[in-house]
Structure formats: structure tokens, C-alpha cells
Chain A
Amino acid sequence: MSTKHSKAAEEFQANKGLAAWHDETLWMVRAKRDKMSKQLPEWEHLRDMACAIKMYSNSHLDQLLTEFEKNAQANGAHVYWAKDATEYCSIVYNILKGHNVKHFIKSKSMLAEECGLNEFLEEKGVEVVESDLGERILQLMHKKPSHIVMPAIHIKKEEIGELFVREMNTEPGNNDQTYLTHAARKNLRHKFIEAEAAMTGANFAVASTGECVVCTNEGNADMGTSQPKLQITAFGMEKIVPDRDSLGVFTRLLARSGTGQPITTYTSHYRKPRPGGELHIIIVDNGRSRILAEQDHIKTLNCLRCGACMNTCPVYRRSGGYSYTYFIPGPIGINLGMLKAPLHYYDNVSACSLCHSCQNVCPAKVDLADQIYRWRQKLDSLGVASSAKKTMSGGMKFLMERPELFNFALKNAPIVNAMPRWMLYNSLNDWGKEHEMPRFAKESFNDMWKKNKVK
């Protein structure tokens, strides 16, 4: 029954210390989120509203995106539409080429990860510098993010210390977080200043004003876009919101849900190009318009990319972001992967205990666990259901349809209790891995009921 996820999770668990730290640290972030949410009596109303606004926006994308385009153009921005990843990467490259850009600084963008922008540009000779500290660390390590908000959550400070000795001339052995962060601050200052263009993603694009809103804690999006005069901002089209009043709802939820802060340090509103500068905005589809037709999965488009579903997920916390085969891990990643290419990413749907915690913390009420359940129902029709599980279900069906056989089996089940350990805990029994099997009761509930023992 092993999936790619369960095998990778086993590797993650091999380092017990790191695995325990990962679990506890993310749970701490979840606890911070709870504390924040409980300070607002209107919290559940906020979540309902965020969901309702997203359902409205995503069912009026044609109107809102053209309204956004009209307003952004009136503000002096150039607006582009990209059908897919290649078109998005090409638009970015052509803008950079047209301005002879050699140094390019970026703030964190999940869309860029989704579309492989950095690889595309580097192949063409453009130096891309990630400016978010976590992303920069991973870029220098040639690694991928393992969490969408805390990308380097799986890396220990000792590794970062060693990396910075090589890359930033820091003192060997000094792995103090403050020291390392400030070394990166100094190092990246030069990168910001020498860049000829800066790029950001967007957390929200406001139709009524044509502005893009970016939320960061580090201030890296603003450091970038306030140095070079050429700014590129790209967003997946479900980032559109109708108006500024809707931002009142989303900005109250985003950081509280994601990191347990009352708001991100910077919530930046980019409406016009800088004086004498240029602002290029790219609206990206890359499969999103197709999701609109999937009624069972349409709420994935509500996602704010806050990461709360990962922080709370008992599977994610214990298996790490790299155990998933899609670039976005955790509950939302399981679903987005299935919508992208089910035959490629179906391994991830097993990475869920259906505890529904993700669904209960999601600020925009994406029905994450319900969707995973629906995907599991479809695995057989996709031809990828696990054969072991199918055999087991077949056996259970046979048993359930024959009450005499079922009762006979039930009566004799306690025999298992007396079996030697090696017969129960072996490679044939996945249920016996990493945990103790429950003991069968001497008397079944059925028997107890008949004897009137159940009050």
C-alpha cells in the first residue's frame, strides 16, 4: 500500500529529531493562529465573508479581470494575459530583454514556482535573485521550498551557517539566527541596489482600482520595487477581488491564519508606475479557468496561500513538504496537484487522515478534506486505486454481505490476541507499523447488546 508519499515520509521520519522539531514548531504556529482568531468574536463571520467574496469573484472573473485591466491601464500600467506557464515566462523574459536587464530581483511568488520562472530565465542568462530570506537560502542551496509561507522550515541553522560562510563570508561556527539574518540583509542590500528590474507576485488584485496588493513581513517586495524603476507583477487570476472594502476582510484573515500575526508588517498597494518608471502586470490562467467547470473542486480557487492548512495537518507536520509530489504540499497542494494532473499526482491523496482540521482553519473555507475524499472515490475510475486496498475492500464486502460468516469471524477474532508478535507485526500488515494494534474484545458489542448488557 506504499505510495510515493508514504515512502518519502518514512525518509523524513528517519531523522527523528528534525521530524519532532518540525511537528512541534508548526503546531506552535497553529496555536498562535488559534489565539489570534479567538481574540475576534466575529472570526467565523469573517471566514464566511471571505468565502462569499471569493465565490462571487471567481464566478465573475470575466467582468472583474477586464475591469482590473481597464483601471490598471488608466493608471499607466501595461497589462498582459498569459494562458500558460510558457507564455508567462516568455512575457517576463521579453520585458527583461527589452530593457537589457542583467540583474533581476524577485520577491516570493508561488506562481513563479508553479511556472518554473527562475529556471527559464537562468537558462537564458538572466541572473535571478530571490529576496525573501527563506527563498534566498533555498536558492543558494539549490533546493525547493517545503512550505508556501515558511519555505525553509525544514533547514537547520547549522546548515545555513555553513552556507553563509561560503556565500556571505560570515564567521565560521556562528549560527545565531539574528547574526545570520543581518548578514543576509547586508548582502542583499547590494543586490537590491544593483538590480535593473524587480518582480513581485500579488496577494490580491483589486478590480475597482487596478492596483496589486503584496503582503510581506521582511519588506523585500518594497525594497525591490523602490530601487529599479522597472517593476513586473504577476498573479494567478483567482487573486482578483472586487474592491478595497473586500481587502478589509482578507487582510484581517491572512496573517492571523498563516503565521498568527494580526497583520503582515507590510501590506503594499501598487497602483501606478514610479515617476519615469514602468509597471508591467501579467494575469495568468495556467489551468485556472478549467477549474471553474469542476463544481466539486471550485473552492480551491478561494485559497489565499496562507499555509494554515499545512500548519494544522497532522500528516504534513510529520512528513514534511518534500514528501508530496506536487510543488505545493499539504492539503491544498494535494487538491491543486489533482486538478493539475491526477495521473501524475494521485500519490498525494493518501496523505490525509480525513480529520478535517484543514477545512476548519481555512480562512476562505476551502472544503479541503471533502475534496480529498471525493478524489479518493475517483481513484478507481482513474485506474490508479491501490490493488491491495481494492482486495481488502472486496474481502470486506464479501464478509459484510454474509452475516453468519461475519458473526463467526467476530466471535473468533480474539484468537488474534494470542498470536505471536511476529505473525501480527510484519511487512504484510501496514497497520502494525509505528503503532500497536488494538486488542480484540472478548465479547462483541453485538453479543453484549443481545444479553442486555448495554445500558
Chain B
Amino acid sequence: MSSREDILQSIRRNTRVRYEKPDYAPLEEEATRYPDLEARFKEIMTQVGGQAVTLKKGDDINQVIKSLYPEARRIASTVDEVTTSDGKKLAITCATFHPDDVETPGELDGTDLAIIDGRIGVGENGAVWIQQDVEQRAIYFISEALVILLDRRNLVSNMHEAYKRIDTGEYGYGVFISGPSKTADIEQALVMGAHGARSVTVILV
């Protein structure tokens, strides 16, 4: 008999009481919501070691990115154009390459900045859902810094709401990113930039 069958048989033999699936709805309704989501999101982004800035009407997005990361030379972008909440289309022109231009993901090492698309932002924890939209998803992790572009209308309060709206898309991969990569593995001292981005800025458009 295969291990699969052995294991399933052992599970069935040993399962005593079958508990019912709970109803999540009352908890989801009770879950904390923030009246000023944009303000809350900015506050929590600071707490998780990143920052969020709002693109104001008339701001040049490329100029904003450049002023945030003036030292960045090698800049990747997965986004060609971003639509603001008032319907304006802004072209991303400050990037120097597309992450899928490389032969192997290892070549992305040394990327100073990656500009990527955020789908949903979560007020309770600063997490932003990234649905893989390029072949080399390494770009989300290997860059020294990340700029995540996020439509401010796609902010939700909590993870219950977020999970109702996410998808992993055709690549079958997605990730919530909450601030820069970090570790406290040496004497509990918090250090940014363990393996992934050392700095994360969410631009609310």
C-alpha cells in the first residue's frame, strides 16, 4: 500500500470527533476598521520601517521617485504607466530596464531600485499585495529598494477584507510585503535589509 493510502487510513482510523467549520462572518464584521484609512496606512508604514507618500495632483511621479531615491542608477520597473485615482495616466519613464530583459534572475543582483505595482494595501499592518506580473519575480526581493505604486482606493482596513480581494493570477504567485526586509537575529537588534529590500516606499496615487 502506498504511503498516501497508509496516511489517509491512519487519519480516518484515529479521527474521533469531527468538529464543524466555524462561521467567519461575525468576526469579519467585528474586525477593526479605520475611519481615515490613508492616514492609518501612512502611520503603520512608518511603524514597519517603511514609508507611504501621497502623490498630489500635478506631481510628476518620476520626479517624486527620483527625489526619494536620488542615488539609484540601475532602476527596474514592472509598470509602464499608472492611472491616478482621478483617472489621469502617468508614464513611468525613470526606469532603466524591465526585469524580464535579463537571461537569469541572478543578473538582477545589483538593482538599486524596483518600481512595482501594488494591488491592495492593508491599514492594520502596512502589507501590500503584490500579484506576480513579470516572469522574474526575484525583482521584488533582490532590489536594494522598492517603490510600490498603489491606488489609494485599494486600501482596506484588515486582512479579512484583503483576502477577499486578492488573486495569484496566471503566474500563480503573490506576496504581501509589509515594509523593508528585516531581522533581529543578532541579539534582538532590529536591522533593515536582511535579504530583501532595505527600503520600501509606497506611493499612493
Chain A residues in the interface with B (C-beta under 8 A): 25, 28-29, 39-42, 45-46, 49, 52-53, 55-56, 59-62, 65-66, 75-76, 81-83, 87, 131-134, 137, 150-153, 156-157, 160, 177-178, 180-182, 184-185, 188-189, 192-193, 209, 211, 217-220, 222-223, 226-227, 237, 242, 244-249, 251-252, 259, 261-275, 283, 285, 289-293, 295
Contact = CB atoms under 8 A, between A and B. Distances in A.
B34 to A, nearest CB: 11
Interface residues of B, number: 78
B124 interface: yes
Nearest to B166: A244
Given A61-B11, A263-B125, A292-B14, 5 more contacts: A62-B15, A217-B181, A220-B194, A252-B158, A283-B7
A65 B189 CA distance: 39
B86 interface: no
B64 interface: no
Contacts of B24: 49, 245-246, 248-249
Contacts of A82: 3
A189 B109 contact: yes
Given A218-B181, A222-B196, A285 B187 contact: no
A16 B185 CA distance: 21
A3 to B, nearest CB: 29
Interface in B31-57: 31-32, 44, 47-48
A185 B126 CA distance: 24
Interface in B171-205: 171-189, 191, 193-197
B193 A264 contact: no
A69 to B, nearest CB: 8
Contacts of B188: 25, 28-29, 150, 153
B28 to A, nearest CB: 7
B84 interface: no
A62 B179 CA distance: 38
22 contacts: A25-B188, A29-B188, A42-B31, A56-B20, A61-B15, A133-B185, A133-B186, A157-B186, A178-B189, A185-B195, A209-B168, A217-B182, A218-B182, A218-B183, A218-B196, A222-B141, A226-B137, A226-B141, A259-B184, A267-B178, A274-B171, A292-B15
A133 B89 CA distance: 42
**Most interface-central of A211, A244, A248 (chain B CB within 10 A):** A248
**Most interface-central of A25, A189, A274 (chain B CB within 10 A):** A274
B127 interface: yes
B164 A263 contact: no
Contacts of A262: 44, 47-48, 124-126, 178
A30 to B, nearest CB: 12
A293 B175 contact: no
A76 B172 CA distance: 10
Nearest to A252: B159
A263 B178 contact: yes
B107 to A, nearest CB: 9
B109 A285 contact: no
A152 B185 contact: yes
Contacts of A181: 183, 185-186, 191, 193-194
Contact of B186 (A131, A160, A271): A160
Contacts of B65: none
B19 A180 contact: no
Contact of A42 (B32, B109, B193): B32
Interface in B66-117: 105-106, 109
A83 B10 CA distance: 10
A313 to B, nearest CB: 17
A275 B182 contact: no
Nearest to B197: A219
Contact of A290 (B10, B31, B142): B10
Contacts of B194: 133, 181, 184-185, 217-220
A184 B135 CA distance: 27
**Most interface-central of A180, A226, A283 (chain B CB within 10 A):** A226
Interface in B4-34: 4, 6-8, 10-22, 24, 26-28, 30-32
Nearest to A194: B106
A52 B184 CA distance: 32
Nearest to B164: A245
A81 B126 contact: no
